[in-house]
Chains A and B, each alone.
Chain A
Amino acid sequence: MAKEIATYVKLQVKGAQANPAPPIGPALGSKGVNIMEFCKQFNARTQDKPGQLLPVLLTVFTDKSFEFVIKTPPAPNLLLEAVKVKSGSAEPNRKKIGSVTWDQVKTIAEIKMPDLNAFTLQSAMSMVAGTARSMGITVSGTPPWEQ
């Protein structure tokens, strides 16, 4: 019989750096999950991505056992890395915080493809470019499919 799901927990955790401090401690501990077990598993699975902020979707079952999947890094994190600025813009439409090239958008779209609701690389690139604009990041040049 399938296990009954009690709840989900959505986290972003730096690769290889999960620890029982907040917010992991209170979020998992209050549900009776063994926090140390989660940290040990997550860290072992992310030894190749130390320090990279990774989204984690954790499913907690009614018997206190759990499963989790590690997703690709969020597009904003990758975009910020690409423009190498320390912050997004507080006024996205007025104040531009940097720019990325379509090549960079393509690289990010390729990383994100497994988690995006997109069937083609072009639509994934459009989604990433949209996220960039909403953060105040300009995409320089014309999209490759319009050239």
Chain B
Amino acid sequence: MSSQSPTQHLVLTVTAVPEVAEFVIPMVAELGFDTFEETEVGFVTSMLAQVPHTDLDVLLGPLAESGMISYTAQVIEGQNWNAVWEASIDPVRIAQDCRVRAAFHVPDRTIRYDIVITPKMAFGTGHHATTAQVMRYMLKHDLSGLSVLDAGSGSGVLAILAELQGANRVFAYDNDPWCVESIAENIAGNGCQQVVGALGTIRTVEAGEPFDWVLANINRNILLDEMDGYERNLKAGGKLVLSGFHEEDIAALTAKASALDLHYHTHTLEGPWAMLAFNKPMIPTLTNTD
């Protein structure tokens, strides 16, 4: 595996009094900077390195010359900023027969599915209700011999559980290069043979034949936007499992699924978080026959 960072970030540091910083922030946001940390002396922002420095100078040069701000810009390599937290995690017991742990925890052979995850900024350690709910749903089913698509797979934890439960073709993709590295590492860490990882979105990846199950733990807007893609990648009689949204989003997601002829099966709740499962009928429900 390459030791090179999968991302580069243009970091802009601006020194300005709060009254000036507050109107420089929306100006800079127009260039594509999307997140700002307000500090004691100004603000820090960054984006994936794309904007030429000259664009920055055109925008900020006059402000700097007038003495209102000073600024520096530099390109830095991405790194695992979540490392401190990741080093402090405890194993998570998902169910009686399933646990997620880090590589530095002692293996427990008495647990049927003792999954090892090195997240490296990829979502999915099982600590979050959205991940745990999908895993518990999977554990109630027999996946042996099935094919599973893990959309927006993060650490790949759902794909790995699918293979450990007997799935014989598993495809996991994410649009974040960090996650794709993480998937590769976690596939190896769990001795998985069937999981294939890829970089992209449901519209760009080549996942192959339709699947028996499609899992997507992302968020409401992306699920609404991409659900037709999940449906296309689902076999007749297959199952779509959605997570990563709040209870109040269930109605919108169920309406969208219904329009795609996916039939509500069940949902679970944990705190504000919800999970939904749908069945694709063996024979399409005939509507609007004219």
List, sorted by A's number, 5 A–B pairs whose CB atoms are closer than 8 Å: A11-B36, A22-B9, A24-B35, A40-B128, A75-B22
CA distance A30 to B178 in the complex (A): 19
Q: Which of B74-82, B95-103, B226-234 contacts A (4 or more CB under 8 A)?
A: B74-82
> Are A90 and B82 touching (Cβ within 8 A)?
no
Give B contacts to A, CB under 8 Å: 7, 9, 11, 19, 22-27, 29-30, 34-39, 44-48, 59, 62-63, 66, 68, 76, 78, 81-85, 88, 119, 121-123, 125, 127-128, 130, 176, 178, 219-221, 244-246, 249, 272-273
Interface residues on A, range: 35 or more
Q: Is the interface of A mostly helix, strand, loop or mixed?
A: mixed
A86 on interface, CB distance cutoff 8 Å: yes
| A6 on interface, CB distance cutoff 8 Å | no
Give Cα A11 to B39, complex, Å.
Answer: 9
Which stretch of A31-39, A102-110, A111-119, A120-128 is in the interface?
A31-39
Q: Are A22 and B221 closer than 8 Å at their CB atoms? A: no
How close is B182's CB to chain A, nearest CB, in angstroms? 11
- Judge whether A143 is part of the interface by a CB distance below 8 angstroms: no
- In the assembled complex, the CB of A64 is this many whole angstroms from the nearest CB of chain B, namely 7
Cross-chain pair count, CB within 8 angstroms: 146
Query: Within 8 Å CB of B59, what residues of A?
Result: 87
- Contacting residue for B221 out of A11, A16, A24, CB 8 A: A16
A91 pairs with B66, CB closer than 8 A: yes
Q: Which partner residue on chain B sits nearest A90 by CB separation?
A: B62
**Once the chains bind, are B127 and A37 in contact (CB under 8 Å)?**
yes
CB atoms of B22 and A74 under 8 A apart: yes
With A and B bound together, what is the CA distance between A14 and B32 in angstroms?
11
CB-CB under 8 A for A135 and B81, given A47-B249, A50-B221: no
Assuming the contacts A87-B27, A88-B27, asked whether A22 and B128 have C-beta atoms less than 8 A apart, the reply is no
Q: Which residues of B contact A24 (CB under 8 A)?
A: 35, 37
**1/0 contact string of A6-19 vs chain B (CB within 8 Å):** 00011111101111
CB-based contact A53/B25 at 8 Å = yes
Please tell me if A5 contacts chain B, counting CB pairs below 8 Å.
Answer: no
> Which chain A residues border B121 with CB–CB below 8 Å?
20, 25, 35-36
Q: How far is the CB of B179 from chain A (nearest CB, A)?
A: 10
| A44 in complex: contacting residue of B68, B82, B246, CB < 8 Å | B246
B34 nearest CB neighbor, chain A only:
A14
**Taking A23-B45, A77-B26, A80-B27 as contacts, is the C-beta distance between A32 and B76 under 8 angstroms?**
no
